Amino acid sequence: MCLSTVYIQTKGQRQKVMQDVAKMEFNNEGYLLTGLLGDQKMVDGRIKKIDFVDDHSVILETKD
Amino acid sequence: MKLSVCGKGGSGKSTVVCLLSSAAQAKGLKTLVVDSDESNSGLFRMLGFTEPPIPLMTLVGGKEGIKEKLNQPSIFSETEITLEQIPHLYINKQNGLWLVSIGKILQALEGCACPMGVLSREFLNKLRLAENEIAIVDMEAGVEHFGRGLDAGVDSVVLVVEPSYESLMLSEKIKGLATEMQKNLWAVLNKISSDRLASKLEEELKKREIETIGVIPYDSAVFTACLEGNPISQGQSTRQAGKILDLLLSKTKIKSRE
């Protein structure tokens, strides 16, 4: 599946933020995620890892 | 009840979808066929429609002009989708038979079909049917739809098996995948020229713990209809499909009560 799942990680604990993410835009507040079906969510954090092959995941880490 | 029809490419999935949908109509069920195959484009003709429906892909931004014209929120923002909620522009209707299409690959280099997989999965998950309604899903060939989770939203999986080694091997794989997803699975044998051949295939499937629910015979009328892109006329195959549908309905009800 080419669409990604975005997770946020805090102290090693991973939590799913959104699946089937079609677009991820950075602005001053963080990342604006847009799902394939048009749903949107803001999430703040730093990108820790993007996996383009296995599980198509984007891992964000909370800022301390 | 929601049924997905899957199997090897060329095994006769679309033919079985047409036969089952015709049998469902004959039983007075409101029948929704979901064309979830992004490659083949002739299903609408085999079901007796003159034009294909506008794909549901356009509802999520495929063609902005149409979206604006509709001027209504997408059905995908709802938690449940009933047949009546599907906008008329995206559905073909005729004598109790409804047809929707998820989307088709239209151009070279247009990218992968993953968004169609997501849309199919969401549509099938959210689709809510009444007692007198049935949905029959024409899946893409092979097994990728299992990987994409499309079958999660259906009650039972119908596996179409043709007399070939490849078809048997794929059946084994599909049985494993359906079991992993905790889905009921039954096989329908297609293009069968003799009772002996049917017994041999049934035996092979039994070894793979797959129950055969019916046999569609080799029928020159079916081949001609498929060649010309016409609906299949009443005959031996449609009678068999009626029996298969009855069994599917009763077995799915029994399983859901367990």
Domains of chain B: which residue ranges? 2-49+94-100+131-257
Choose among A2, A3, A37: nearest Cβ to B76.
A37
Query: What gap in Å lies between CA B237 and CA B242, rounded to an integer?
Result: 9
Q: Tell me what the mean pLDDT of segment B24-51 comes to.
A: 93
CA angle B71, B112, B158 (to 5 degrees): 90
CA distance B258 to chain A (A): 32
> Residue A3 is nearest to which of B76, B118, B147, comparing CB atoms?
B118
Q: Please enumerate in sequence order all residues whose Cβ is within 8 A of that of B192, keeping only pairs 6 or more positions apart, or say none.
A: B163, B198, B201, B215, B216, B217, B218
Q: Rounded to an integer, what distance in angstroms lies between the CA atom of residue A56 and that of residue B180?
A: 22
Spacing of C-alpha A42 from chain mean position: 9
A38 shares contact with chain B (CB less than 8 Å): yes
Which neighbouring-strand residues pair with A5?
A57
User: Looking at per-residue confidence, does B5 or B111 come out higher?
Assistant: B5
Say what the pLDDT of residue B72 is.
Answer: 53
High-pLDDT (> 70) share of chain B, %: 92
Q: Strands (DSSP E) along chain B, which ranges?
A: 2-7, 30-35, 92-94, 97-101, 133-138, 156-161, 184-192, 212-217
The ipTM (two decimal places) reads: 0.73
Q: Is the pLDDT of residue B96 over 50?
A: yes
pLDDT band at B61 (very low <50, low <70, confident <90, very high): low
Task: Give the count of beta carbons closer than 10 Å to the beta carbon of residue A14.
Answer: 13
Q: Across the interface, which of B118, B147, B148 has its CB nearest the CB of A36?
A: B118
With a cut of 60, say whether residue B64 has pLDDT above it: no
In this structure, what are the phi and psi dihedrals at residue B72, rounded to the nearest 5 degrees?
A: -145, 155
Calpha distance B119→B113 (Å, rounded): 10
Asked if A52 reaches chain B (Cβ–Cβ under 8 Å), the answer is no
Q: Does A32 touch chain B (CB under 8 A)?
A: no
Average pLDDT over residues B232-250: 93
Give bridge partners of residue A47 from the DSSP assignment.
A60
Label residue B132 exposed, middle or buried (CB < 10 Å: 0-12, 13-18, 19+): exposed
Q: What pLDDT, on a 0 to 100 scale, did the predictor assign at position B39?
A: 84
Alpha carbon distance B152, B238 (integer Å): 28
Within an 8 Å CB–CB cutoff, is residue A50 touching chain B? no
Query: Which pLDDT value is given to residue B63?
Result: 46
The tens digit of pLDDT for each residue in B153-203 reads 999 999 999 999 999 999 999 999 999 999 999 999 999 999 999 999 999
A contact test, residue of B112, B114, B145 with most A CBs within 10 A: B114
For A2-64, where are the E strands, in sequence order? 4-10, 13-27, 30-35, 40-43, 46-50, 57-61
Does A55 reach chain B within 8 Å, measured CB to CB? no
Read off the pLDDT of residues B97-145 as tens digits, 9 standing for 90 and up. 999 999 877 777 666 777 888 889 999 999 999 999 999 999 999 888 8
| Residue B71 pLDDT exceeds 60 | no
Q: How far is CA B27 from the centre of its chain?
A: 18
pLDDT score of B207 = 97
Closest CA to B142 of B252, B217, B38: B38
pLDDT in tens, chain A (64 residues): 678 999 999 998 999 999 999 889 999 889 999 888 878 999 999 999 999 888 889 999 997 6
Mean pLDDT of B208-235: 92
User: What is the predicted pLDDT for the residue at B58?
Assistant: 82
Round to whole Å and give the CA distance between B99 and B86: 11
CATH class of the region B2-49+94-100+131-257: alpha beta
Contact pairs from chain A to chain B, CB under 8 Å: 29
CB B170 within 8 A of CB B205: no
Is some CB atom of chain B closer than 8 A to the CB atom of A1? yes
